[in-house]
Amino acid sequence: MDETIDRALDAVGPRLKRLRQQRETTLTALAEQTGISASTLSRLEAGLRRPTLEQLLPLARAYGVTLDELVDAPPTGDPRVNLRPIACGDGSTILPLTRRPGGIQAYKFVLPGGAGEPEPRTHEGHDWVYVLNGRLRLILGEHDLVLQPGEAAEFDTRTPHWFGAAGPEPVEFLSLVGRQGERAHVRAAPR
């Protein structure tokens, strides 16, 4: 058991560095966000220091991942509940938030900065997106939109569409995707 723990802790450093590089942030910026010194973060990433729980918690929060994901803990329990991120070849990461047959599916996307040439696509369904961090460029038909954190868009996915970061910084957004005709239900609070 101790050997398994040792291997998991030894792998945390490279994972921390990969997460920081994927999000295109500096050690200094991460230090400001987490309260952990840049030199300590550097030693953690290099594997020269083992992380403590007090360090892992703010790092997991800063990266928007669970502690299990940060230390690559083995899956436990129902695999439908333990959803793992999907790393894509273009540097983007997709985190399924739901996994059930039918109905609206929820995803969190993290797209790297400096997106390539837009290649709009179409498919059956309806999409609703909400920007969490960064700026999202959305090509929707003949419209070229830039959404800021807190902004949302809703559209029929039969309209040619494409997502990418609107600059050199990465962008994080939520996406609810439903079959054609199935839409997210939005309720407004009474005045």
- Name the average pLDDT for the chain: 83
Which of the pair, 86 or 166, is modelled with greater confidence?
A: 166
- pLDDT tens readout for residues 112-155: 888 778 889 998 888 999 999 999 999 999 999 999 999 999 99
Q: Convert the chain into a string of H (helix), E (strand) and C (coil).
A: CHHHHHHHHHHHHHHHHHHHHHCCCCHHHHHHHHCCCHHHHHHHHHCCCCCCHHHHHHHHHHHCCCHHHHHCCCCCCCCCCCCCCEECCCCCEEEECCCCCCCCEEEEEEECCCCCCCCCECCCCEEEEEEEECCEEEEECCEEEEECCCCEEEEECCCCEEEEECCCCCEEEEEEEECCCCCCCCCCCCC
> Which of the two residues, 17 and 6, has the higher pLDDT score?
17
pLDDT in tens, 55-72: 988 898 888 887 777 887
Q: Is residue 5's pLDDT more than 90?
A: no
Give the per-residue pLDDT at 61. Answer: 85
pLDDT of residue 187: 47
pLDDT digits (tens, 9 = 90+) for 156-181: 888 999 999 998 999 999 998 887 55
Q: Is the pLDDT assigned to residue 13 strictly greater than 50?
A: yes
